[in-house]
Structure 1
């Protein structure tokens, strides 16, 4: 089975777009909703009742289940509450099959091909505990909504873990299984491409609330526009080197998901360069030589 779980919170409105993208190729979709209507930070959230009416009407094949529970624990950090909710969601989705978790503001480019990729590896479902795997996709972040389109993170090296055969989450969506597969598939992340009020709600309630000075980054974000975006580099709020620069993409290309802004070959090339740089800067020369000799043997 292909099982998809969504977290439903203050940004529920993006589910009107993200759910239809996966609906036809999912066997089960579970929507996790806090029954007290609280965020991971314990702040109140509002979900329009019309959303649940839309789900009921849209779900003609009866694939969607609403799972309500208490996901806010006062003594936990937002990140801990995030991880806890994902594990509870995994239990609600049931044992077996491929578990996929997608956030409300993430849009899966070519979900059918991704599920075909998973089904080709259904042998990993036979004895999953002996062969746990974490499957990543390329994560393309929309940085800001501007007139005519979006600024997006250009040539990003971001990937995000979305699928696993053993849904035991250690940190948010990360299972930290030893075997990881990085794929060419794209998950488009609405992320920072929201109205100012939405951004403020996001940074005061999300998992990364305590990771950095989000309010300072918010003020920086507000200054970026269509005329000056090319001036900025190293933009990520926690790890600046992850987001090198910004590009522009027209709105009609985003919503039709006709994305040509990231290629798998480019991704692999940049990852290789990062690895070589890490080896040269972080490892002693003797160890570098040993690694070089090992690669020569493997090539033979």
Structure 2
């Protein structure tokens, strides 16, 4: 059996892990939560995590799998993306030896994490390897459900046997990249306006686009005009071709057997748009 561990970055959006963790917990041997000891984001913004959240974690952790790792992850002299990368490397080191290192953000929800882990169990590469999956962003919550990015060409790194990160979760210096069709829903943008403003100020990629202008666009979108939006990713427009209104709660959407039919995925490619790294996108 492969030893597979998962790491989470816990910050101002800690509440979202309550949606993500239950889908992961039974399928890994150990889980590490990395949280800044001074409760600062990568841009130095203060946040608070109430005791009630840690009480929930303790009650949920029936298998005694979760370790809380606190350290200084905000370094004023570093850019936000460099703080991001640094924390992920520190988290990987804290995870210790294993066959597969999985890093998941609090707001990322695998549709079928068990199937993803089973594939990792059966995959035995002989070289440093990173596994990327297609991500469909939950763009906005509306009265009937969510606006979801359809036909997304966005991919993110989730698992690696060589956790040496050089741009957030990317480890491009020597790792072979493989692309799997496991679908991950990312509640990156489906938040209330104040949370979106905090995200835009704190995100590692905030310097890459006009955050005020993009906030105004996000704020104007609803279930009636969303079909007019095309190619709207904030700094790689074609990555998000269109929006689709999907009815239901997060759990209802994730547990629906039709979610893969509803959110159309393009063919997985090994070259071209899907293979671009953050380093290549940002130049």
Q: TM-score, length-normalised on structure 2?
A: 0.90
Task: Report the counterpart of residue 234 of structure 1 in structure 2.
Answer: 231
> Which structure's relative contact order is higher, taking Cα pairs within 8 Å and 6+ residues apart?
2
- Number of matched residues? 266
1-structure distance, mates of 2:223, 2:63: 43
The answer as to 2:251 corresponding to 1:249 is no
2-structure distance, mates of 1:232, 1:113: 33
Greater Rg over alpha carbons, structure: 1
Q: Please say if residues 109 and 257 of structure 1, whose CA atoms lie closer than 8 Å, have aligned partners that are also in contact.
A: no
Distance 1:50 1:133, change over 3 A: same
Task: Report the counterpart of residue 140 of structure 2 in structure 1.
Answer: 144
The answer as to 2:166 corresponding to 1:170 is yes
Q: Please say if residues 7 and 104 of structure 2, whose CA atoms lie closer than 8 Å, have aligned partners that are also in contact.
A: yes
1-structure distance, mates of 2:146, 2:111: 17
Query: In the TM superposition, what is the alpha-carbon distance from 1:178 to its structure 2 partner?
Result: 3.9
Task: Report the counterpart of residue 61 of structure 1 in structure 2.
Answer: 63
RMSD: 1.7
Task: Report the counterpart of residue 279 of structure 2 in structure 1.
Answer: none
> Which range moved further: 74-83 or 233-242?
233-242
Query: In the TM superposition, what is the alpha-carbon distance from 1:272 to its structure 2 partner?
Result: 8.5
> Which range moved further: 232-241 or 255-264?
255-264
Q: Please say if residues 111 and 254 of structure 2, whose CA atoms lie closer than 8 Å, have aligned partners that are also in contact.
A: no
Q: TM-score, length-normalised on structure 1?
A: 0.85
2-structure distance, mates of 1:141, 1:187: 8
Distance 1:178 1:272, change over 3 A: closer
Distance 1:241 1:132, change over 3 A: same
Deviation readout 1:115-142 (Å, 9 max, x if unpaired):
1100102x33xx6xxx100101110101
Stretches of structure 2 that go unaligned for 5 or more consecutive residues are: 274-283
Stretches of structure 1 that go unaligned for 5 or more consecutive residues are: 276-300
- What is the 5 A alignment of 1:1-300? 1-121=3-123, 123-124=124-125, 131-176=127-172, 177-252=174-249, 253-258=252-257, 259-260=259-260, 261-262=262-263, 266-268=266-268, 271=269
Deviation readout 1:157-195 (Å, 9 max, x if unpaired):
111110000000010000114411100101110011110
Secondary structure of the equivalent of 2:22?
helix
Query: In the TM superposition, what is the alpha-carbon distance from 1:97 to its structure 2 partner?
Result: 1.7
2-structure distance, mates of 1:188, 1:138: 9
